[in-house]
A and B are shown apart, each in its own frame.
Chain A
Amino acid sequence: MKFILNICQRLGARLLDFFEVMGRLILFALTALKDVLLPPYYPRLIGSQLINIGYYSLTVVGLTALFSGMVLALQSYTGFARFNAESAIANVVVLSITRELAPVLAGLMVAGRIGASIAAEIATMRVTEQIDAMSTLKVNPFQYLIAPRVLAGTIMLPFLVFIADIIGVFGGFLVAVYVLDFNAFAYIQQTWEFVEFIDVASGLVKAAVFGFIITLMGCYCGYYSGRGAQGVGSATTNAVVSASILILISNYLLSQVFFS
């Protein structure tokens, strides 16, 4: 009896913790959203975040997309050859890239790169009392630190994913034409005729949501970081892990909304 009571108590405490964290996170997201929309704005900070998140992520996102497109073409060829459907490669590549692979992979890569660095930066500022100092100088840390990052992430991810779409399709094209001996012109024509607006648009909407998630989780984990170097370390890890999981979950939900 006592044993069961004990388990219930533990579970209950866990559940309460969970709801507390969820509540705090939702409140945090709403405050961030409000501060993105309402003044004061800090255009200079938004600009530097746009460059940091967008420009400096190009290489890693581009490479990811290129090799994903390439391997996709290769695998679909060998797989589809079993039932004589090799001609569908162009369709498979463009559909998978624009709908799923470009947004999800770009999202995960950026979560590792940007989510981690945002969390580390804000957590360090928390631990060294820079965030406290900011509020004694009449500057709201939400407006100054968090809003520019969240805004820049939400704007920049769709751009990155659009570029990833192009590079990914190009990767598939390279393999199809130079490895598998497809006709270049026919491949491009097939891709172009097959792809629909909703394929690309849904991927870009996903990207915006992922950008919001990545920067929000980076800011949240940094803002509520524990003390000391260890606090900064676990803030960074938590930011990346939670953003990645949330990306995968919301990706499924969004796909459901768009395509069913």
Chain B
Amino acid sequence: MKTFKVEMQDVHKSFGSKHVLRGVNLEVKKGESLVIVGGSGTGKSVTIKTILGLIKADSGKILIDGKDITKASGKERDELLGSCGMLFQGGALFDSMTVWENVAFGLTQGQKMSKKKAYPIAIEKLKAVGLSEDIAQQYPAELSGGMQKRVSLARAIASHPDIIFFDEPTTGLDPIMADVINNLIRKTVKELGATAISITHDMASVRKIADSVAMIYEGKIIWHGPIEKLENSGNEYVDQFIHGKEDGPIRF
């Protein structure tokens, strides 16, 4: 049997009386780019945070490289998750550090690389997301929202993670910059052989970066298939969502 890079089996999560994840099943192959779509507040961010262990699942299994991280010891878990990078929906930049220190944080503090060696890498990553060296010494609060998002993206990919999570990478960017970011995500997967799990509402972005697509609705994955099948999924929830129609089975 082939082991998946990331696998979720019947994962549940509630916050108080709010049952957010109601049995999520998901498999991602190594080197694959999966995009999760779904309505606002359906638990997309919660799903990827449970994979990273930032939110503890109530029940179910989460396997990375075949190992169940919900049962792993603290050290094992740190190691498994050490190979993960994440772009947070809200950016989550360290506001007490400059832009380049943010991007280099995983290198200088996590891997103990010297600042001298980390600086050029940080600048290179900033350039990859369309930002110039001029802003390297600025603080995140001095940047626009879209620029913060891109700095955050640069930080997520700077230490070459094995598995990368992108939570709405293109939200708040202009269409051209969004395309640059989409290409960058594509390239990260292709060239570095990374596995990517992204969340987006932007259908252009889905078509550009996805190998496969999963749709979450009411705390479950209701459809999961290759991107080629997205248009003819035969699933009326998916149809309604990708065409952005008000009429259909999904009610708000």
Partner of A130, one of B84, B92, B110, B111: B92
The residues of A that contact B94 with a CB separation of less than 8 Å are 125, 130, 133-134
The residues of A that contact B86 with a CB separation of less than 8 Å are 132-133, 136
Contact of B59 with A by CB under 8 A: no
The majority secondary structure among interface residues of chain B is mixed
- Which chain B residues numbered 67 to 120 have a C-beta less than 8 Å away from chain A? 78, 81-82, 84-86, 88, 90, 92-95, 105-106, 109-112
Q: Of all chain A residues, which has the CB nearest B90? A: A129
- Is the pair A129, B92 in contact by a Cβ cutoff of 8 Å? yes
Question: In the complex, what distance in Å separates the CA atom of A139 from the CA atom of B113?
Answer: 13
- Is the pair A138, B88 in contact by a Cβ cutoff of 8 Å? no
CB distance from A21 to the nearest CB of B (A): 17
- Is the pair B54, A132 in contact by a Cβ cutoff of 8 Å? yes
- Is the pair B54, A135 in contact by a Cβ cutoff of 8 Å? yes
CB distance from B100 to the nearest CB of A (A): 14
Contact of B155 with A by CB under 8 A: yes
Q: Of all chain A residues, which has the CB nearest B86? A: A136
- Is the pair B92, A138 in contact by a Cβ cutoff of 8 Å? no
Contact of B126 with A by CB under 8 A: no
Contact of B52 with A by CB under 8 A: yes
Contact of A128 with B by CB under 8 A: yes
Contact of B198 with A by CB under 8 A: no
Partner of A137, one of B90, B95, B155: B155
Q: Of all chain B residues, which has the CB nearest A129? A: B92
CB distance from B85 to the nearest CB of A (A): 6
Tally A residues with Cβ within 8 Å of B. 16
The residues of B that contact A133 with a CB separation of less than 8 Å are 86, 88, 92-94, 155
- Is the pair B54, A137 in contact by a Cβ cutoff of 8 Å? no
Contact of B159 with A by CB under 8 A: yes
- Is the pair A129, B81 in contact by a Cβ cutoff of 8 Å? no
Partner of A136, one of B81, B90, B95, B109: B81
Partner of A128, one of B78, B81, B92: B92
Contact of A187 with B by CB under 8 A: no
- Is the pair B95, A130 in contact by a Cβ cutoff of 8 Å? yes
Question: In the complex, what distance in Å separates the CA atom of A57 from the CA atom of B106?
Answer: 33
Contact of A144 with B by CB under 8 A: yes
Q: Mark A137-175, 1 if CB is under 8 A from B, else 0.
A: 111100010000000000000000000000000000000
The residues of A that contact B95 with a CB separation of less than 8 Å are 128, 130
Partner of B109, one of A129, A130, A137: A137
The residues of B that contact A130 with a CB separation of less than 8 Å are 92-95
What are 11 contact pairs spanning A and B, CB under 8 A? Answer: A125-B94, A129-B90, A132-B49, A132-B54, A133-B155, A136-B81, A136-B84, A136-B85, A136-B86, A136-B156, A137-B109
Residues of A within 8 A of B (CB): 40, 42, 125, 128-130, 132-140, 144
